[in-house]
A and B are shown apart, each in its own frame.
Chain A
Amino acid sequence: MHRATLDQIRILVSSNPNDDYLARIKAEIRAEADAARERAPLPRLDPPPRAAVTVDDGIDRERLDYSLGELCGHDYIAFIDHAFRALLKRAPDDTGSALQIRLLAAGAPKAEVLGNLRWSPEGRRVGARVRGLLPRYALAKLARVPVAGYLLQWGLALAGLPLLLRHQRASDTLHAARFNAVADERREHARRLDELQARQDAFNAVHGEMRNELTRLAQRLDTLEQRAKALEHHAGALQQRSDATTHELADLRHYVHTANHWVASLQRSLDELETAEAAESARADELLAALAEPDTDARAARHAAWSAALAAALPPAARVLDLGSGDGRWLAALRAHGLDAHGVEVNRVLVERARAQARPVALGEPLAALERCAEASLDALTLAATLADDALGTANLLHAARRALKPDGVLLLRAEATPCAAAGTEPPHWRALLAAAGFAAPSETAAPHAGAVLARRGAD
């Protein structure tokens, strides 16, 4: 990022000079804050007292009264340290400490060091009182006056000679006592040193054992590392197999998608074929309906003769099923004799034509309709000859008719006029098939028009 960009970002977010809305709000808040300062001021508190929390330097800042003896009772660095803490209420800094030690090393009395600290600007601010210090400090300072100071020291030394001798003897005793104490301490230290040596030997022994244990742990670590590498290798192999499986799954997914595509394409083709077949079937129905026999006197006479013969062979209101009913004219003839006649026709156009005349003709396959009839449920069954134009189909039809007809039921085969044959043309194999199917005494009706065969179901 260039510096220019950084600067632009900073300007954009920090000042945003066009933000009048926030600027106005902040100005109002500032005014409100000013009012709050007047209304409910907070008492001033110092910042969190860091040193008071963390530092315990052992300085008694409340105490300001000392005796000369307690300050002079220490020597060398301890004397300087105590003097700083008592008179300046702080630990000695390096420079100040070194300066005062140099004074002591040059033979200055302790009173002069104490006086220097007490009456320094810092010491005056603290204002500690040391009883008996002032005259001794004054004498120490007078002793530094040339000639007069020297003579003063002579006079003081001569005057204090007996005291000095007594002090010297006391010092001898003190030093002897200290020597004995130091000798005792040295013996104690030697004893402690022996103890420490014994502890160190024990520690060395433990250390040696730990080193051995460490070596064993290192060996185990090596073993573990080798196993980890082996595991890593296996993991790599597993990863490769996983990758391969992933590729295979991708291929399989591709194949499934392709098969789905083929199936969908096939389904579309079948749908198109079914649609074409339905259209073709409708056209065929229309064509065949157009070729159907017209409603003529001859047809009416033929139906009257056949229906009369059938009604004579049946009880009143007998239940009759007609297969291949066409436009239902034949059904109308049957129902005129009081028969309970219903028909089935496969041609949708003819069925619609029949229904327009209130003739009970159902749309459907004749054989399927017959097979749906209950066993021994029909008094009579009439068939259009066009349904029995081949031997095998006729055989199946007669077998189903026998099942559906009552034991004394009647079967009528009627040869209507078709585009290929005139009415009354009886298929040559009818009678043989009826006999073979178990229908008794097939005989042609006595009507003026031939072409119908009436047979009665034989016994089982």
Chain B
Amino acid sequence: MRIAVLVPGLAPHDAVSNDTLGMTAALRRLGHEVALFAPHARGVDEPVRAPDTVEAWLRSPDDVVLYHYCVGWDFPLALFRRTRARRILRYHNITPPEFFEGWSAGYVASCAEGRGQLDAYAALDCELYLGCSPYNLEDFTTRGVAPERCALLPPFHEVEQLHSLEPDPRRLPHGSPLLLMVGRLAPNKAHADLIDTLAALRADGADAHLLSLGKLDPNLAPYGAALAARIAARGVGDAVTLMQDANGAELRAAFARADALVMLSRHEGFCVPLIEAMALGTPVVARASSALPWTLGDAGLLWDEDADAHLIAASLRRLAHDAELRETLRARGRARYDAVFAPAVLERDLAAALARVARR
């Protein structure tokens, strides 16, 4: 079977790109002929074809077009409407535009356009809607897509490669506790709550430090300025390290040194850093928003969406002093990773999902 994998773009260290490339390799191991189609790609060791050649490459109605849906893009929608091949919509979720209102008109328009296509894709009755999490699949089941057309497949990732890297802690700060956040600087990630948590810890006498690994898009410069103002207002300027250029070895070292990954994001379609923490043995404190409860499972301290800085800070203090809790969370994280997110499990689930498409 020929499978055309269509994606808006490919780049190194990008969650959607990692999922695309990992899934492509897995499909090939399953014996399928797979080709990648994207309008642009960089730093990817894989031949990538122009999207408008997808239909010429497909040979039979039994072939498959697999689209990684993560932005608004008219081309795949038109392609899905006219192609006779079987269609798989791989849905990574799109941040609701209201998170960006007041920060970037461009992001608001882009996210609104992306989410605006949900109805159209739901109406297409694709052969398979492949969600990274149950939360993602709800975007389609609430729009009338039959549950039997939906399948759950967590994203392919590079956690094993990360695990094999030699840690490089030279540029990393120290702190007791050291709070780690991994993710781009964006309004939905709730960095202000992290700063408040840090302030609560320091107000209570702890020598805490916040290490945030992730880039700030220049189009979100006002949000970056607001975070800087928040840091100054809380008086924690010397206890915050924002690294926008961390490499894999430094990320590996950050997970090893941190006392906890603190993920207070208010919207995530899956959240790969959580499984990185689970695989690398870093305890997790998180907010129970969007897909985070499912991804984390029982392997971390999960709080309601209205949890305040004092509650998160108290969780970190408890983790620092309770060795049994730390070991319990580490063991649960590793077990959940092995059971649900290990590459062999993902490949097995992918094969099962494809078998369902083949039967249709």
Residues of A participating in the B interface, judged by any CB pair closer than 8 Å: 1-6, 9-10, 12-14, 16, 19, 21-22, 25-26, 28-30, 32-34, 36-37, 39-42, 45, 47-51, 53-54
A13 touches B147 (CB 8 A): no
The docked-state distance in angstroms from the alpha carbon of A36 to that of B202 is 12
**A49 and B226 contact, Cβ closer than 8 Å, known pairs A14-B294, A32-B318:** yes
Nearest-neighbour CB distance to chain A for B139, whole angstroms, equals 12
**A29 and B311 contact, Cβ closer than 8 Å, known pairs A22-B298, A36-B204, A48-B230:** yes
List 9 interface pairs A-B (beta carbons < 8 Å), by A numbering. Answer: A3-B147, A25-B301, A28-B318, A34-B310, A45-B234, A47-B192, A48-B229, A54-B103, A54-B222
Q: State which of B3-11, B84-92, B148-156, B250-258 sits at the interface with chain A.
A: B148-156
Digit string of B287-329 for contact with A (CB within 8 Å is 1, else 0)? Answer: 0100001101110011100001111011101100010010010
The chain A residue with its CB closest to the CB of B288 is A14
A29 touches B301 (CB 8 A): yes
Residues of B within 8 A of A50 (CB): 101-103, 222, 226
A29 touches B318 (CB 8 A): yes
The docked-state distance in angstroms from the alpha carbon of A34 to that of B298 is 24
Nearest-neighbour CB distance to chain A for B283, whole angstroms, equals 12
The chain A residue with its CB closest to the CB of B317 is A32
**A1 and B147 contact, Cβ closer than 8 Å, known pairs A33-B310, A45-B233:** yes
Residues of A within 8 A of B303 (CB): 26
Digit string of B164-206 for contact with A (CB within 8 Å is 1, else 0)? Answer: 0000000000000000000000000000100010011001110
B227 at the interface (CB under 8 A from A): yes
Nearest-neighbour CB distance to chain A for B317, whole angstroms, equals 7
Nearest-neighbour CB distance to chain A for B101, whole angstroms, equals 8
B117 at the interface (CB under 8 A from A): no
**A6 and B141 contact, Cβ closer than 8 Å, known pairs A1-B147, A28-B318, A48-B227:** yes
Q: Which of B101, B134, B229, B317 contacts A10 (CB 8 A)?
A: B134
B56 at the interface (CB under 8 A from A): no
Residues of B within 8 A of A3 (CB): 141, 147
Q: Do most interface residues of chain B lie in helix, strand or loop, or is the interface mixed?
A: helix
Residues of A within 8 A of B229 (CB): 48-49
Residues of A within 8 A of B230 (CB): 45, 48
Residues of B within 8 A of A14 (CB): 288, 293-294, 302
A13 touches B298 (CB 8 A): yes
The docked-state distance in angstroms from the alpha carbon of A45 to that of B233 is 8
B137 at the interface (CB under 8 A from A): yes
The chain A residue with its CB closest to the CB of B227 is A48
B225 at the interface (CB under 8 A from A): yes
A-B contact count (CB 8 A): 110
Within 8 A of A (CB), among B195-220: 196, 199-200, 203-205
B199 touches A2 (CB 8 A): no
A33 touches B227 (CB 8 A): no
**A54 and B204 contact, Cβ closer than 8 Å, known pairs A3-B141, A45-B234:** no
The chain A residue with its CB closest to the CB of B298 is A16
Q: Of B151, B227, B303, which is in contact with the most chain A CB atoms at under 10 Å from its CB?
A: B303
**A25 and B318 contact, Cβ closer than 8 Å, known pairs A1-B152, A49-B226, A53-B222:** yes
A36 touches B200 (CB 8 A): yes
Residues of B within 8 A of A41 (CB): 203
Residues of A within 8 A of B200 (CB): 36, 40, 42
**Known pairs A6-B138, A13-B294 / 13 extra A-B pairs, C-beta < 8 Å:** A1-B147, A1-B152, A3-B147, A9-B294, A13-B298, A14-B294, A25-B325, A33-B308, A40-B200, A42-B196, A42-B310, A50-B226, A54-B103
B222 touches A33 (CB 8 A): no
The chain A residue with its CB closest to the CB of B153 is A1
Q: Which of B147, B199, B222, B302 contacts A6 (CB 8 A)?
A: B147
- A-B interface, 7 closest residue pairs, ranked by CB to CB distance from nearest: A50-B102, A33-B314, A48-B226, A14-B293, A53-B222, A40-B203, A3-B147
The chain B residue with its CB closest to the CB of A30 is B311
Q: Of A21, A42, A49, which is in contact with the most chain B CB atoms at under 10 Å from its CB?
A: A42
The docked-state distance in angstroms from the alpha carbon of A194 to that of B309 is 65
B222 touches A2 (CB 8 A): no
**A36 and B314 contact, Cβ closer than 8 Å, known pairs A1-B147, A14-B293, A49-B226:** yes
A21 touches B318 (CB 8 A): no
Digit string of B126-156 for contact with A (CB within 8 Å is 1, else 0)? Answer: 0000000010011001000001101110000
B314 touches A32 (CB 8 A): yes
A21 touches B328 (CB 8 A): yes
Residues of B within 8 A of A49 (CB): 226, 229
**A6 and B137 contact, Cβ closer than 8 Å, known pairs A42-B196, A42-B199:** yes
Nearest-neighbour CB distance to chain A for B339, whole angstroms, equals 12
The docked-state distance in angstroms from the alpha carbon of A45 to that of B196 is 9
Residues of A within 8 A of B138 (CB): 6
Digit string of B254-294 for contact with A (CB within 8 Å is 1, else 0)? Answer: 00000000000000000000000000000000001000011
Residues of A within 8 A of B298 (CB): 13, 16, 19, 22
A51 touches B137 (CB 8 A): no
**A40 and B204 contact, Cβ closer than 8 Å, known pairs A45-B233, A48-B229:** yes
Q: Which of B293, B301, B322 contacts A13 (CB 8 A)?
A: B293
A53 touches B203 (CB 8 A): no
The docked-state distance in angstroms from the alpha carbon of A124 to that of B313 is 45
**A9 and B293 contact, Cβ closer than 8 Å, known pairs A42-B310, A47-B192, A54-B102:** no
Nearest-neighbour CB distance to chain B for A245, whole angstroms, equals 21
The docked-state distance in angstroms from the alpha carbon of A115 to that of B255 is 65
The chain B residue with its CB closest to the CB of A28 is B318
The chain A residue with its CB closest to the CB of B197 is A42
Q: Of A10, A29, A37, A39, which is in contact with the most chain B CB atoms at under 10 Å from its CB?
A: A29
